Copies of this chain bind each other. A is one copy, B any other.
Amino acid sequence: MNWQTIEGSVTAPQGFLAGGVFCDIKRLGTGKGSNKGVKRDLALLVSETPATVAGTFTTNQVCAAPVKVCLERVRRGLARAVVINSGNANACTGRQGLRDAQAMTGITAAALAGRHISAEDVLVASTGRIGVRLPMENVKKGILLAAGQIEATRQGARHAVEAIMTSDTRPKEIAVEFRIGGRTARLGGMCKGAGMIQPGMSASGKRPALHATMLCFLTTDAALDAATLRTALDAAVARSFNRITVDGDMSTNDTVLLLANGKAGNAPPRAGSRDLAVFQEALDHVTLELAKKIVLDGEGVSRFVTVRVRGAKTGGEAEAAARAVANSALVKTSWCGGDPNWGRILCALGYSTATIEESRIDVGYSAPGGRKVLFSLKGGRPTATPFRSLCAITTAAAFDLHINLNLGGGEALMYAADLTEAYVDFNKGDVNDPSTLGG
């Protein structure tokens, strides 16, 4: 372990400022999750100096206006600031939505006058209700207000993370410190999640083989060139955010952005170097911890389940098997009950696109990350493991489900959640109060 956890999040690295304000976007069009009129809804994140940038975005064909703007701009590999609003996704808003997203970057650049930032240096992200135009007057007021309040402090970062929350019940933050090129550097991050969570992001926005609104903003004062940063972020997202599912729905707005401003003064690490490995390790830790926080705080989630599939014919088949199990309504409701079920699991494996042989399948349970696995099924047959022993594991707040298909070397894992009455209640809304209806 070449990093250590420190206090704070996006302002922990040198040279980053953040802030968050309330400008009445939420009241104008968001759901049940918002504490109307009291929660912050616009955040600014600014680097004092030019930073290299990398991003990964939803591969949903319906992608929100801010994602379109970011996809274009991250190609340049440089950025100075990110403006983020909650309460309105600016998705399915047509050309006007695109103009509004672009205007947010222009307003931000202007509001940060004196910092020599152009609109093109500003990235943008939105989350909240789909299909409603942004209240641009409020957004503008919010950006101006936030620009006057950004700070390189813990409080600045805390205001920012509060402003990006929607149905999240708690802020999700982390920061680590590590040594790179003889210097001490830091990496911090904040994210939001809660529903519409099964990201399938790629750097290009092109469709990967797989499948939230989840937003994540990462900062580091380590120096890395844009291409290296992108490769590192892609790898980290593949092992973290792309491995989580709350409800199997992939959002129109998923965005992860990583800014590296080089204030630590290290020489940018080369491919294959130990320095880069250290950075990757820190980034992997930060993204995985943030991803897990999203599942744990998922809408109505009462249990966190890590689905570990091995022995599939290929990695792709292991992935398909893990996703089928992690997204099965019947499996997820059995988790809600704390049931160490294997019948529904076999059923989901059987309709997945993975090749299986019933008589070879092992299913077991352990404590999270635990080595001691109690098997309920071996070679397709129930074991003698007492039901109570299995329940002792599966009624805990978190457990690991181990599936071995015993057909090959393919492995995959998914961080998943149960399906509860609270999820349904939260998402069904009330047609007599349209503000409770989901985007």
Contact = CB atoms under 8 A, between A and B. Distances in A.
Interface of A: 59-63, 89, 91-92, 94, 129-131, 195-196, 200, 211, 247-252, 328-330, 333-334, 336-344, 346-351, 355-356, 358-359, 380-382, 387, 391, 394-395, 419-421, 423-425, 427-431, 434, 437-439
A320 to B, nearest CB: 12
A425 B334 CA distance: 10
A129 B234 CA distance: 43
Contacts of A342: 92, 131
- Copies of this chain, complex-wide, total 2
A299 to B, nearest CB: 10
A108 B350 CA distance: 30
B249 A348 contact: yes
Contacts of A387: 434
A250 B329 CA distance: 11
B346 A62 contact: yes
12 contacts: A60-B347, A60-B350, A61-B355, A91-B347, A130-B346, A249-B328, A249-B344, A337-B437, A339-B431, A341-B438, A344-B439, A391-B431
A326 B437 CA distance: 18
A399 to B, nearest CB: 13
A379 to B, nearest CB: 9
A103 to B, nearest CB: 19
Query: Is chain A's interface secondary structure helix, strand, loop, or mixed overall?
Result: loop
A60 B428 CA distance: 31
B334 A91 contact: no
Contacts of A248: 328-329
Given A92-B346, A94-B380, A333 B424 contact: yes
Given A249-B330, A387-B434, A439-B344, A428 B94 contact: no
Contacts of A358: 61-62, 92
A196 B423 CA distance: 20
A322 to B, nearest CB: 16
A429 B334 contact: yes
Given A380-B92, A424-B420, A250 B347 contact: yes
A30 to B, nearest CB: 12
B94 A351 contact: no
B333 A428 contact: yes
A347 B424 contact: no
Most B Cβ at <10 Å: residue of A329, A338, A341, A350: A329
A355 B431 CA distance: 31
Contacts of A427: 329-330, 333-334, 337
A61 B349 contact: yes
Nearest to A60: B350
A348 B356 CA distance: 28
Contacts of A437: 334, 337, 339, 341
Given A347-B251, A428-B337, A330 B62 contact: no
Given A60-B350, A249-B329, A421-B421, 6 more contacts: A94-B359, A130-B343, A249-B351, A330-B427, A339-B429, A421-B424
Contacts of A250: 347, 350-351
Nearest to A251: B347
